[in-house]
Amino acid sequence: MNNYFIILASGQSKRFNSKKPKQFNIYKNKALFKHSLDKAMKSKLFKKIILVVNNKKNIKEKFPQNVLILKGGKERSDSSLIALKYIKRFNPNNVLIHDAARPNFTIKLLKDLIKSLKKNKAVIPVINSIDSIKYKIKNQLFNLDRNNSFLTQTPQAFKFKDLYYLSIKQKKKVTDEASLFIENNFKIKFIKGENLNSKITYKEDIEINKTYFGIGFDIHRLIKGKKLFLGGIRIPFHSGLKGHSDGDVIIHSVIDSILGAMRKKDIGTFFPDNQRKFKNIRSPKMLKPIIKILNDKNFHINNLDINLICQQPKVSRYRNKIVKSLSNLLNIDNKIINLKGKTVEKLGLIGKEKAIACEVICSISKWKKLMYY
């Protein structure tokens, strides 16, 4: 194994428009450059891994001895050459060059590249364009055939001696090492790239959903002569739930779980039980303004997990109807709602069919601001 892996992470990120270079932004819970570094280390395919950055002081962590940190140059091609000159002392056979802005490649791709290098001097992962491509020469436009147009990715794999030779004599900027081989009429091998291995260029490419959780709980006594509502539908039963409203413990718990996830206090703040206008209000009407707040704040529900705690009625008889009702009221897919029925082995008020309780855990997401390494 005489393979070396160079990660280029010293770009200026002009198009990213951020306070810090994009390689130090947090993506999926760690700095962008660390995804490539961690995969290279995990693969155990490389004698040394070279991380090229614009400022070595930005790297706070301690890495294994086979990880080397270098200061890069002004342009991408400068940084690549700095790394190649450095590893020349180790007499490497193969070298892979990778842009830190591509965090989603797989270890399988690394193995495929190295395997293909056994019979080739340069191996480049490519994918076909899904967009129509135009090419401009002076004032004339041409349509390019998508089937014959390729989008090159990194990592790109090379025999070290050939890449070093071309890089040393190259005088103008190049956007990737494959360009060196093409411009000098060297043969390259294309292999299938990975659709998820896209390059992060703009802020919008790295912004991710931030997830919040909320818990809701409610309990009401059962009383004779009142209608029973659960999840917005009427359930045939000998008693209904006592409350200032219709006592729908499922919807009340859902409301509190959503408010909790949004950090918006509780149901009593919005619907005080000392105000006559809310007397006997139906719970779907209470849910409606809460959903409006959710939507206005750009949140969306990921999952609702509901425990309905009662001795009777049997939840299994009405599960599908309740889930369908909640799906319509919340305007979400019924597949992200789970309703479970729990008894209390005839213990206490619930066990004696004198009360019904409900607890709900809600997960919601929202776009969040960028974080930095």
Whole-number Å distance between alpha carbons of 326 and 323? 5
pLDDT in tens, 319-353: 999 999 999 999 899 999 999 999 988 899 998 88
- d(CA 112, CA 116) in angstroms, rounded, equals 6
Q: Quickly count: other Cβ atoms within 10 Å of residue 102's Cβ.
A: 21
pLDDT at 151 over 60: yes
The token duo for 48 is: 């040394």
CA pair distance 173, 12, nearest whole angstrom = 15
Helices H / strands E in the chain, number of each: 11, 19
- So what's the pLDDT on residue 149? 86
Task: Report the residue count for the chain.
Answer: 373
pLDDT of residue 371: 52
Angle in degrees, CA 139, 176, 169, rounded to 5: 100
Q: What is the mean pLDDT of residues 342-368?
A: 89
Q: Give the chain's domains with CATH numbers.
A: 3-206 (3.90.550.10), 209-367 (3.30.1330.50)
Q: Name the pTM for this structure.
A: 0.66
User: In 3D, which of 74, 119, 97 has the Cα closest to residue 163?
Assistant: 97
- Dist. CA 130–CA 103, nearest whole Å: 21
Distances (CA, A) of 130 to 146, 149, 192, 228: 8, 10, 15, 55
Q: What is the pLDDT of residue 127?
A: 95
How far is CA 54 from each of CA 5, 27, 219, 262, 269, rounded to the nearest angstrom? 18, 19, 59, 39, 52
Residue 138: is it exposed, middle or buried by C-beta count within 10 angstroms (0-12/13-18/19+)? exposed
pLDDT digits (tens, 9 = 90+) for 171-230: 888 889 999 999 999 999 999 999 999 888 776 666 666 889 999 999 999 999 899 999
pLDDT confidence band for 38 (50 / 70 / 90): very high
pLDDT for the residue 373:
54
The predicted pLDDT at position 276 comes to 83
Q: Angle at CA 222, nearest 5°, toward 344 and 324?
A: 80
**CA-closest candidate to residue 356, choices 312, 291, 293:** 312
pLDDT of residue 275: 84
Q: What are the tens digits of pLDDT across the range 243-301?
A: 888 899 999 999 999 999 999 999 989 998 888 887 878 999 999 999 999 988 889 99
pLDDT tens by residue, 45-68: 999 999 999 888 888 888 999 999
**Residue 372: which pLDDT band, with cuts at 50, 70 and 90?**
low
Give the pairing type, strands 300-309 and 337-342. parallel
pLDDT at residue number 302: 93
Instruction: State pLDDT tens for residues 109-137.
Output: 999 999 999 999 999 999 998 888 888 89
Is the separation of the CB atoms in 77 and 173 below 8 Å? yes
